Amino acid sequence: MGLFNWFTQEVAIDLGTANTLIIHNDKVVVDEPSIVAFDRTTNKVIAIGRSAMQMEGKTHDNIKTVRPLRDGVIADFTAAEHLIRGMVKLVNNGKSWFFPSLRMVVCIPSGITEVEKRAVRDSAEIAGAKEVYLIHEPMAAAVGIGIDVEEPMGNMIIDIGGGTTEIAVIALSGIVCDQSIRVAGDNFDSDIVQYIRRQHNIMIGDRTAEKIKIEVGAALPELHEPPADFAVQGRDLMTGIPKQITVSYTEIAHCLDKSISKIEEAILKALEITPPELSADIYQTGIYLTGGGALLRGLDRRIQAKTKLPVHVAEDPLRAVVRGTGIALKNIGRFKFLMQS
Ligand SMILES: Nc1ncnc2c1ncn2[C@@H]1O[C@H](COP(=O)(O)OP(=O)(O)OP(=O)(O)O)[C@@H](O)[C@H]1O
Ligand SMILES: [Mg+2]
C-alpha cells in the first residue's frame, strides 16, 4: 500500500430503494433502511436508517420521514445526499472523515437515465466523495454471486428489490439485454394493504404489510414447508377500533399473484430477446435470483415452472449487489471496464 492509498478511504455503496448497504475494508459495515427523518420546522435530519424507519407512519406534524429513492432512482435529491452522508458517517463511528480522499463505488440500475445518473454522482460528491465510480446493479450482482463475468458465457440475473425488478443477461463483461420493471417488493406490500382492506375490512400500514410478506408471504398457494398463520393488528374500517385477524400464506399467495405474473412476463420477454447463442448458455446455467424479493417463499419454484429453467437463489440475496460492488472496488484496476467514472 503506497502513501497515497493510506490517505484514500474506500467505500462501496448499494443505494437501494429499500436498503442501503456499505462495504468498507471487505466488510459490510452498514445495512440500514433507506429512510431519513427530518424536523419539519428546522429541516434538520433527526434520524436515518433503522431509527428513522421506526418513526415511519407514526410521525406527528413536526416530523416527516422521507425515502429518498423511488423505483430504484433518486426521487429526493437533498434527502439522498443526507442519507449517503449519514450512512458514510456510520462507517466511521459517527465521525466525519478526516481523510482527504474518499473513493466511492456506487451501483445504479441498468435502465437509469443520464439525468438520474448525474443525481447519484452529485449526491455522492456533495456527501464527500472525491472520486466516484458507478457500476450497474446486475453486473454487481453477478460479480457478488461469484459468476465470472468476463467469460464468453451468458448468465441471466434477476434482482428483485424494493422498487424495481431488473432482469439482465450478462456475457463478456457487458449487459447484452435487459428488462427493468417497476414491480418489486414495495408493490407486494401495497397488494397486501389492499387485500387486507378489501377482504378483512381492516386498514394496515406499509410496515405491517411488509411484516406479513416476510412472515407468511408466498408465490405459490401450496408450499412444501408452509409457515404458520400470522396475527395482524390494524384499524377496523367499520368501527374505527383496533382489531386483530389472522392471515394464511395461501391468501397472500393469491393477492400477490398479479404482481408476480408481471415479473414472470418480463422474464419471458427478456428470454425472448436474448440472442440464441446466449439462450443456449442460459439453458445450461439457469437463472440467478438476487435482491430481497428472491426470499419470497416458492418464487424460485414458480419461475422454474414458468421457464422450465433451473433457478438458483443467491446466497444471502439481500447482499449480493453490495458484495459485488465491494469486489469491484477492491479490484478497481481489473474491473475498471465495468465501471463508469
Ligand atoms: N424474507 C423476505 N421475503 C420477501 N420479501 C423480502 C424478504 N426480506 C426482504 N424482502 C423485501 O425485499 C425488498 C428489499 O430488497 P433489497 O434490499 O434487495 O431492495 P433494494 O436494493 O433496496 O431496492 P432496489 O434494488 O429496487 O432499489 C423489500 O421490499 C423487502 O420487503
Ligand atoms: Mg437493489
Q: Which CATH number fits domain 2-140+321-340: 3.40.50.150, 3.90.550.10, 1.10.10.10, 3.30.420.40?
A: 3.30.420.40
Q: What's residue 1's pLDDT? A: 44
Class of domain 186-255: alpha beta
Mean pLDDT of 58-81: 91
Mean pLDDT of 51-55: 93
- Strand order of the β-sheet with 202-203 is 202-203, 230-236, 242-247
Q: What's residue 2's pLDDT? A: 44
Residue 138 has pLDDT above 90, yes or no: yes
Residue 188 has pLDDT above 90, yes or no: yes
Residue 6 has pLDDT above 70, yes or no: no
Let me know if the fold of 2-140+321-340 is the same as that of 186-255: no
Mean pLDDT of 296-303: 98
Please give the distance of CA 108 from its chain centroid, rounded to a whole number.
Answer: 11
Residue 4 has pLDDT above 70, yes or no: no
- CB of 318 shorter than 6 A to ligand 1: yes
pLDDT tens-digit series, residues 230-253: 999 999 999 999 999 999 999 999
Residue 174 has pLDDT above 80, yes or no: yes
244 CB contacts (<8 Å, ≥6 apart)?
231, 232, 233
Ligand 2 centroid to residue 215 C-alpha, Å: 21
**Listed residue (216, 185, 195, 191) closest to 34, CA to CA:** 185
Q: What's residue 94's pLDDT? A: 61
Under CATH, what is the fold of the domain 148-183+257-314?
Nucleotidyltransferase; domain 5 (3.30.420)
Nearest protein Cα to ligand 1, atom 21? 16
Ligand closest to the CA atom of residue 296: 1
The values of phi and psi at residue 293, to 5°, are -60, -25
Q: What are the residue ranges spanned by the domains of the chain?
A: 2-140+321-340, 148-183+257-314, 186-255
> How far is residue 277's CA from residue 331's CA, in Å, rounded to a whole number?
30
- CB of 16 shorter than 6 A to ligand 1: yes
Residue 153 has pLDDT above 50, yes or no: yes
**Listed residue (16, 52, 49) closest to 30, CA to CA:** 49
Q: What is the mean pLDDT of the chain?
A: 93
291 CB contacts (<8 Å, ≥6 apart)?
141, 158, 159, 160, 161, 165, 184, 185, 317, 318, 320, 321
